[in-house]
Amino acid sequence: MLKKLASMVSAVATAGLCAVIPGVANAVPVSQANTTIFGPNVYVFDTSMPAADVQGVARNIFTSMEAAEFSSNRYALLFKPGTYPIDFNVGFYTHVAGLGQSPDDVNITGGVTVPANWMANANATCNFWRAFENFAITPSSGTTQIAVSQAAPLRRMHIKGGLWLFQVDYSTGAGGWASGGFLADSVVDGQVLPGSQQQWLSRNSKWGSWANAVWNMVFVGSVNAPADSFPEPPYTVIPQTPVIREKPYLYVTSAGQYAVFVPSLQTNTQGPSWGASPTPGTSVSIDQFYIAQPSTASAASLNAALSAGKHLLFTPGIYQLNDTLRVNNPNTIILGLGLPSLIPTSGQPAISVADVDGVKIGGMIIEAGSINSASLLQVGPAGSSASHASNPTFIYDITIRTGGPVAGKNDVGITINSHNVVGDQLWLWRADHGSGAAWNSNPTKSGIVVNGNNVTIYGLFNEHHEQYQTVWNGNGGRVYFYQSEIPYDVPNQGSWMNGTVNGYASYKVANSVTTHEAWGVGVYSYFRDAAVKLENAIEVPNYPGIKMHHLTTIWLNGQAGSEITHIINGLGTRVYAGSPTTAQRQTWTDFVGSGTNPPADTQAPTTPGSLTATAVSSSQINLSWSASSDNVGVTGYDIYRGGSLIGTSGTNSFSNTGLTASTTYSYTVRARDAAGNVSAASNTASATTQAAAGDTQAPSTPGNLTATAVSSSQINLSWSASTDNVGVTGYIIYRGGTQVGTSTTTSFSNTGLTASTAYSYTVKARDAAGNLSAASNTASATTQASGGSGGTGAEWTYGTSSASSTQALLWFAPTGFTAQYVIVHYSTPTLGQQNIQMTYNSTAGRWEYTASGVNSGNVLTYSFTYNKAGAQYDTPNYTWTKP
């Protein structure tokens, strides 16, 4: 994303970083760092590991991720309490966090840096998607550099020195561009130097001093903030944070167990939640969480865990979801490690939250899929009415992404229907670059629609959507810091008209709203493809309860003749060129409405008309209707099937997916407005889904077939899923060209084989109509030599075999459930009792551990402890004699 620098930083010099790395006696090998219950992309370091090795792992990850803007790789680097004399950089999709109760429990004494070298001129405007949480940095140079833009939050950090929010371009001595960031619940002992950083939100933090500002610096509940001043310098200062619950975080208890700490709800606070005393709150044991891994988690297993009262902890990776994750229990926690991505594949929301108290969701990317979703994250169903003032739902560090890695589609990023919801650092991004980033390829209407009352957001970054970026229909809303670029790729003015008005305001407060307040609002234009004009950056009603403070418009770049004509409601001068300064930047200090509040709205919208239902496949019916009207404004439509509410829409169309072939369904639609008035039901429209038998299209070919010998008589197969125009119903497995079995999943175990024998396999996918795909690649494996043992328990299989002359491979495979962890207990006459966390082998579909010191003739006694649905179970003892 292109930004235009408004303030340059003159020659600045920095000292090089050099950390001395001592040896460690009795060190635990760093190879064990990613063998925990969190899977292979989470590295858990402790001070017994050689510091040079820990540093090497972190540096290797940075090498692969420095410029990997749209990579599918994800990593979390977690540090147990202690001091680490290491120095490393942090790239894309990397989450660095301490596992102490306090940030000072983990101290990295070399340096943790975000450089901006992969783009020219130290440009950090694309340094997105990374996170820093709950540790201290004692930089050997005296200064920590975090040159980032959106979606790179710093939380619960203690910087024992200075902090730079940009990087110097040493070829010119000027500051490289940087654009937008977030610091919360943190302490910086020295000076914070934004330099060329254009805008920034700091909440509940403190520092020695703050150096400068460029366009929009907002401070909420922070200590030693500069004096409120606008427009020069552009400092917006709110002394106290009205309501906050700091983000929950993973830590290790004094007993050495993993847990998640949930900070308490606090009001009217200033400064960090920690320091002289610990952060108040409660601890939740890790066994109350379903630990999701991309190789094993599905929408079905995740929803089963939610229904059972579990919290969710997503480990790094990409999660393809064919159903909505439904959060119906109050106080549910959903956290991500390593910036996991959730992608809905059937045009549904990725997550929907019931109208309940106290849900906490944070630390993830929710991406639009190829089938259009009405909303990607829905908080509360349409018409939610309960008050949650004493226990609000919080959403933290969420990226909504449409396009970039792939061309996705959605109408709205986040829809908030519940009252009292609090957002803390949200980036709602329609991609302006990357795969499928074009006006008709990755369409979205709005980043966020707020229908609930008394919703508060700290740090709303909302960019490039094709209509209003933000739509606010609820009363009592508050926004502290707003950064918004309107779309770059408008093809022409005619494509971007709001009736007779040029363009769609970025920040739109509905005419029915009588109370709303915002601080530090910046709206920026770069009309790259046409000379397009936007009439107003901000549109709000003219009522006394509407208050907008410290507003800025910027012309970043664009075609000659492009402009933002006004800042708010026809007020403010246009921005239209890079120079002079007044052509590039305009400001408005305070807007307070002066009109008379309207009478209460009791008039319902008109009835939606001409509802039609059209079956487009054996599993999907599309609905459309003529729009309703309202004396104030229609905010959406509720869709009913057979009298039951099944969804909502912000437009006059809806797609109902996941239906049964050759089945008739009937629908009605009702319109609603911001006051909660609901229209009469539309006419009833019915349609019958198409018959599956008419399907003649074969599924795609299964890919990446692998074969792994797990014993002398068993080979496990796995492959990547096929797709189909209607739906894949299963797979046929062939060995040597002969069918040997079927599977409804993407794995199969071929048993009863002969030891030391090679076997070759292929797989074909099939659908309900009987169409078969082409055969997959051929995968071969040779069964292990005889001499192993194994068997079947009540809900598991297990086994042991020789791995070398002095090693034994022990394995454990759950049957019909996903184990959160497995511990093997083993001993021989010459070994003491060993208790080892096993590692999950996703290819073989089992947990494994290779035991050393097991010689020929040794009798190995072993058993397993495993976790199922939050409870712990033990197997009987087994024995095996090594040949």
Q: Quick one: pLDDT at residue 194? A: 97
For the entire predicted model, the pTM comes to 0.74
Q: Which pLDDT band holds residue 601 (cuts at 50, 70, 90)?
A: confident
Torsion of Cα atoms, 240 then 241 then 245 then 247, to 10°: -110
pLDDT mean over 434-438: 88
Residue 784 confidence (pLDDT) above 80: no
Q: Quick one: pLDDT at residue 15? A: 24
Q: Quick one: pLDDT at residue 22? A: 32
Q: Which pLDDT band holds residue 690 (cuts at 50, 70, 90)?
A: confident
Q: Which pLDDT band holds residue 817 (cuts at 50, 70, 90)?
A: confident
Q: Quick one: pLDDT at residue 23? A: 32
Largest CA distance in the chain: 92
Highest mean pLDDT among 97-111, 162-176, 643-657, 779-793: 97-111
Q: Which pLDDT band holds residue 811 (cuts at 50, 70, 90)?
A: very high
Distance CA 151, CA 131 (A): 8
Nearest to 521 by CA among 492, 554, 548: 548
Distance CA 502, CA 496 (A): 7
Distance CA 709, CA 581 (A): 69
Q: Quick one: pLDDT at residue 793? A: 63
* Total Cβ atoms within 10 A of residue 282: 11
The per-residue pLDDT for range 349-360, each reduced to its tens digit, is 999 999 999 999
The per-residue pLDDT for range 8-56, each reduced to its tens digit, is 333 222 222 222 223 333 456 788 888 889 999 999 999 999 999 999 9
Lowest mean pLDDT among 110-124, 143-157, 396-410, 815-829: 815-829
Instruction: Show the tokens assigned to 18.
Output: 């050099």
Question: Is residue 805 left, alpha or beta, with left meaning phi > 0 and alpha meaning psi from -120 to 50?
Answer: alpha
Q: Quick one: pLDDT at residue 875? A: 81
Q: Quick one: pLDDT at residue 865? A: 82
Q: Which pLDDT band holds residue 615 (cuts at 50, 70, 90)?
A: very high
The per-residue pLDDT for range 233-251, each reduced to its tens digit, is 999 999 999 999 999 999 9
* Total Cβ atoms within 10 A of residue 870: 17
Q: Quick one: pLDDT at residue 1? A: 40
Q: Quick one: pLDDT at residue 12? A: 29
Please, is 500 exposed, middle or buried when counting C-beta atoms within 10 Å of its C-beta (0-12, 13-18, 19+)?
Answer: exposed
Exactly one of 367, 463, 485, 848 is catalytic; name it: 485
pLDDT mean over 773-782: 90
Distance CA 531, CA 79 (A): 51
Amino acid identity of residue 330, one-letter, is: P
Active site residue 485: yes
Please state whether beta strands 703-709 and 715-720 pair in parallel, antiparallel, or not at all (unpaired): antiparallel
Q: Quick one: pLDDT at residue 5? A: 35
Q: Quick one: pLDDT at residue 874? A: 73
Three-state SS letters, 793-842: CCCEEEEEEEEECCEEEEEEEECCCCEEEEEEEEEECCEEEEEEECEEEC
Distance CA 123, CA 115 (A): 9
Q: Quick one: pLDDT at residue 28? A: 60
CA 37 to each of CA 44, 292, 293, 665, 718: distance values in angstroms, whole numbers, following the listed order: 10, 10, 10, 45, 22
CA 648 to each of CA 256, 537, 640: distance values in angstroms, whole numbers, following the listed order: 46, 28, 9
The per-residue pLDDT for range 569-596, each reduced to its tens digit, is 999 999 999 999 999 999 999 999 998 8
Highest mean pLDDT among 359-373, 586-600, 632-646: 359-373
Q: Quick one: pLDDT at residue 802? A: 87
Residue 361 confidence (pLDDT) above 80: yes
Which of the pair, 337 or 745, is modelled with greater confidence?
337
Q: Which pLDDT band holds residue 93 (cuts at 50, 70, 90)?
A: very high
First vs last C-alpha separation in the chain: 63
Q: Which pLDDT band holds residue 443 (cuts at 50, 70, 90)?
A: very high
* Total Cβ atoms within 10 A of residue 594: 9
Residue 113 confidence (pLDDT) above 80: yes
Q: Quick one: pLDDT at residue 383? A: 84
Residue 767 confidence (pLDDT) above 80: yes
- Signed CA dihedral, 198, 203, 205, 209: sign only: positive
The per-residue pLDDT for range 202-227, each reduced to its tens digit, is 999 999 999 999 999 999 999 999 99
Helix residue spans in 276-432 (DSSP H)? 299-307
Distance CA 663, CA 845 (A): 38
Element (H, E) at 272: none
Q: What is the mean pLDDT of the chain?
A: 90
Q: Which pLDDT band holds residue 707 (cuts at 50, 70, 90)?
A: confident
Which of the pair, 710 or 688, is modelled with greater confidence?
688
CB-CB contact of 280 with 797 (8 Å): no
Q: Quick one: pLDDT at residue 870? A: 63
Nearest to 485 by CA among 471, 501, 467, 465: 465
